[in-house]
Structure 1
Amino acid sequence: SYSTSGNIADYKKHGYELVTDGYPADLTFDNDDKTAQNFTVHLKHQNIQSTEAKTVTETIHYQGAGNQTPADHTASVNFTRSVSTDAVTGEKTYGNWSANQSFDAVTSPELKGYTADKAQIDKQTVNGDSKDLAFTVTYTKDASTKPVNPSQPTTPAKPVQAGQAVATNFVDQRLPQTGETDQQHMTLSGLLLLAMSSVLGLFGMTKQRKE
């Protein structure tokens, strides 16, 4: 009454699958104790097939132009490969990724009054093992080229005409020293007295002549 079905079912619960069951359903035992009767049940690890997908993204970030700054540019490509998982051990076996793919070259947008440090981001070729790509384009404000206002010309110096006298005033900007002011006052007073004396002297001489 022995059957292998119970043991086979237990193996299947642990990730095995049946290949062949060599134990006959109608087995008749003999009475020969000297001869062993051997049978083989063949099982193997079950492998679960699946597909793995991956996305690689390219991002171009624009900066430096204030509210004129363009929005970021993004693009993505997808790759797939087969995966075989051992149901008993959990070990995975990977197939090859699908064919390589490329991101097209991207020209940096032109902005009036600004210059980009990269005129374009070149074409990029990636595969399933590639990491995401990131680039930055920075805009710099152009130098100002504002012309001089012709309505406000610079006034040239007036030339001296022939025969015209030129007066030049020299101003002594030295700060007076201690005691210098008093000395100046005394000198001025002396000069005034001398002038008055001269006038009085002339007046006296004129009077005498008249007499």
Structure 2
Amino acid sequence: MTKYGDQITYSTADTIADLEKKGYVLVNNEFDQTGQAFGDSSNGHTYTVTLKHGQVPVTPENPGDPGQPINPDDPDGPKWPAGTAKSDLLEDATQTIHYTGAGKDTPKDSVTPHEGAFTKTVTVDKVTGKIVSETDFTGQANFETVKTPVVNGYHADKALAGGLTATPDQPNVSDTVTYQANGKVVPVDENGKPISGADQPTYPTDPSDPTKVLPVPVPAVPGYTTKTTIVTPSDPGANTTVTYEKVVDEAPVTPATPAKPTATPRAKQAPANQATLPQTGNEDDAPVAVAGGLLAGLMGLLGLLGFKKKQDD
């Protein structure tokens, strides 16, 4: 039988240990068995043992497991609540580069993710299994710049895009690259009118800088000529007119062929016993003239013979 003044043999250790398994935390234990004794009827003692609900911070490095016991030594006790999983304590960030303006050749969006860019902490009551507090997401994500793809026939408004910073308030950041069609070389005549059927070459895009274009040789235009040989555009999106002059066709000059000298017919020389007639200029009339001369001479001879006979009579 225990009497006043006897040594106390009771211990609070087991009770405290059992409560700690359930998620409690010892705050103060006034009862110390060592040297303690029961008081007398006029001098009793009261000993207070103070405990509180334990709380556990839940972080991405030390997350909870919703549905599973919070206190390993109390499997039937409180469970981890929703919102304590690692995925609940992390938030991702993204940087998206939109491309537009190059028609069917427009590049697809460039998306750069940053997993777990932002974190937060949740505090759970180990006795009740409830979330008692949580912080906002903190942190930031710094993204690298992205080179703008080269699209031949188009120039971009920037060579690099992105390089943005995402925050919990704006976790998904974006940038836009706009393409425009490159200009062309337009052959025109002396009146400034485009020459029908002439090639109009498009400026090639600079493969090392998609915001620029390269010089382009002027096209050959049949029937025309120009003093310009190459065009170096100052505005990658503006056409450049090049004036051509029409080639004038000239009739080929054929050297004159010298006239051949005309041979002058030589008069045929009459025989020594043949009278020579006046030159008529026609070789074919000579025999007729000779014959006429002979006839006239014959008639004259007959006349003389008649005259002489008359004298004789």
TM-score by length of 2: 0.38
Answer whether contact 1:16 1:45 (CA < 8 A) is retained: yes
Residue 57 of structure 1 deviates from its aligned partner by 0.7
Match for residue 90 of structure 1? Answer: 131
Unaligned runs of 5+ in 2: 1-9, 61-88, 188-194, 199-220, 225-244, 248-313
- Pick aligned residue for 2:100 from 60, 63, 83: 63
Match for residue 39 of structure 1? Answer: 47
**2:119 is the counterpart of 1:119:** no
Q: Distance in 2 between matches of 1:129 and 1:47?
A: 29
Q: Distance in 2 between matches of 1:131 and 1:67?
A: 30
Q: Distance in 1 between matches of 2:56 and 2:136?
A: 13
Instruction: Write the letter of the residue equivalent to 1:92.
Output: S
Larger proportion of helix: 1
The higher radius of gyration belongs to 2
**1:1-80 aligned within 5 A:** 16-23=24-31, 30-32=39-41, 34-49=42-57, 50-51=59-60, 52-77=89-114, 78-79=116-117
CA RMSD of aligned residues (A): 3.9
Structure 1 pair 104/155, CA: closer, same or farther in 2 (3 Å)?
closer
The percentage of counterpart residues that share the same residue type is 28
CA deviations on 1:133-173 (whole Å, 9 max, x unpaired) are 111212122233343423376989xxxxxxxxxxxxxxxxx
Larger proportion of strand: 1
Match for residue 138 of structure 1? Answer: 178
Structure 1 pair 28/82, CA: closer, same or farther in 2 (3 Å)?
farther
| Greater relative CO, 1 or 2 (CA 8 Å, sep 6+) | 1
Match for residue 149 of structure 2? Answer: 109
Q: Distance in 2 between matches of 1:10 and 1:16?
A: 5
Instruction: Write the letter of the residue equivalent to 1:75.
Output: T
Residue 114 of structure 1 deviates from its aligned partner by 1.0
Residue 116 of structure 1 deviates from its aligned partner by 1.5
